[in-house]
A = this chain, B = another copy of it.
Amino acid sequence: MSLVVQKYGGSSVSDAEAIRRVARRIVETQRAGNKVCVVVSAMGDTTDDLLDLAEQVTPAPPARELDMLLTSGERISMALVAMAIAQLGAEARSFTGSQAGVITDEVHGRARIIDVTPGRIQSALEAGHIAIVAGFQGVSQTTKDITTLGRGGSDTTAVALAAALKADVCEIYTDVDGVFTADPRVLPSARKLDVVSMEEMLDLAANGSKILHLRCVEYARRYGIPIHVRSSWSQRPGTWIKDNPYEGEGAVEAPIITGVAHDKGEAKITIVGVPDEVGAAATIFGAIAEAEINIDMIVQNVSAAQTGKTDISFTLPQGDGAKGMSVLQGVKAQVPYEDLRLDDAIGKISLVGAGMKSHPGVSARFFKALADAGINIEMISTSEIRVSAVTRADQVEDAVRAVHTAFGLDASEEAVVYGGTGR
């Protein structure tokens, strides 16, 4: 008997009909001889509706109370899923994050899981019940207050529970058939991947692939939990994400390229005319780190010999753009630069593949594909299994198509996108 953790996002439980459909799949999984623990997000737009309500009451809701408010969303969906399962003649019990033993730190709105003590879930599974757990939420170890995990929270809940329960697999249900060589919403010729390594998935997630949140992949890699990303709308097998997927019986070598990710959620700040002195970069990025802004790429040009000055550019989440500018204005006394520029209209395209490290020439082919499509590259960064370029935002989808085709990733038939997007 296997133990399966399944996670259903907001679009999979958007209304009563969707909930009944999900319930059928859950019950089928149990009847196939598995113990089943299910993690659910809030229904469709519930979270946005609750945020609207909060905004009507106050422009600055306290984070503790916002968490209390938002966690009612999963409470509603999990109870309804449990009811739908009961209607099918199986036994289900719903549990809040706190009841499921999801223990977090006390940072409201983006708490991190520090322990999972799933005693009640284990008892429910032992009793032959299906356990339904609220995603995205936990309880603070120190204050005993309700916390939320922030973006991608329900995926992280699912993987964390899978690890604590020693589950055989964590199935993440979504509105596409799995992980694709590019976002099938942008590129209908994207091809579904049967398998992706944890390492590659980390790079895809970190560079704009929306299919799984970075935190969830990090958690899964740390605890060795295989993830199966699949559609809640079809019975097709999806994409398996695991360690060393290219080993074992009948294994082939890792494909050179796994896929193309893109991201339009970043901004670029350029600091013009920075004195080329020891410690300038340390001061700048020390201040940025202190403001808890995550930066992605950093590019520093060679300084012009005649001026002794250089330009530094870096990318950061668009939402942190204004904050980043204000932090940099604050360091001008220590690092007397000439000018600051914020550019919101950038896009990033990344080519990811574990086989890349043993195949020289991938970068050259990547740049040529972009050049042939008439796309200018503004910044470049690379890792062992990835090469990324920053372009104009309105060119990034063209860039995805050009690179996808240049690396022979196009499928012969179009990908299916089933519904909206969940949390």
Contacts and interface: CB of A to CB of B under 8 A. Distances in A.
Interface of A: 15-16, 19-20, 50, 53-54, 56-62, 64-66, 68-69, 71-73, 75-76, 78-80, 82-84, 86-87, 92-94, 99, 120, 144
Contacts of A73: 72
Contacts of A19: 57
B69 A75 contact: yes
Contacts of A99: 144
A73 B94 CA distance: 17
A71 B94 CA distance: 13
A386 to B, nearest CB: 42
A69 B76 CA distance: 5
Contacts of A79: 54, 65-66, 68-69, 72
Contact of A50 (B59, B76, B78, B94): B76
A83 B61 contact: yes
Contacts of A66: 79, 83
A62 B80 contact: no
Contacts of A62: 82-83, 86
Nearest to A76: B72
Among A57, A58, A80, residue most surrounded by chain B Cβ atoms (within 10 Å): A57
Give this chain's copy count.
Answer: 2
Given A53-B76, A76-B53, A99-B144, A84 B58 contact: yes
A56 B94 CA distance: 18
A16 B64 CA distance: 19
10 contacts: A15-B56, A16-B57, A53-B80, A58-B84, A62-B82, A64-B93, A66-B79, A69-B76, A69-B83, A72-B75
A91 to B, nearest CB: 9
Top 8 closest pairs, chain A to chain B, by CB: A16-B56, A69-B79, A58-B87, A72-B72, A68-B79, A72-B75, A61-B83, A65-B82
A50, A79, A84: residue with the most chain B Cβ atoms closer than 10 Å: A79
Given A75-B75, A99-B144, A120-B144, A57 B69 contact: no
A68 B75 contact: yes
Given A54-B80, A59-B87, A99-B144, 4 more contacts: A19-B57, A20-B57, A58-B86, A66-B79
A92 B58 CA distance: 14
Contacts of A15: 56
A59 B71 CA distance: 26
B76 A60 contact: no
A75 B62 CA distance: 15
Given A99-B144, A120-B144, A144-B99, A65 B53 contact: no
A360 B99 CA distance: 60
Contacts of A94: 65, 68
Contacts of A120: 144
Nearest to A59: B87
B78 A68 contact: yes
B65 A71 contact: no
Contacts of A57: 16, 19-20, 80, 83-84, 87
A120 B16 CA distance: 37
A54 B78 CA distance: 11
A66 B84 CA distance: 12
A87 B61 CA distance: 8
A120 B140 CA distance: 14
A400 to B, nearest CB: 40
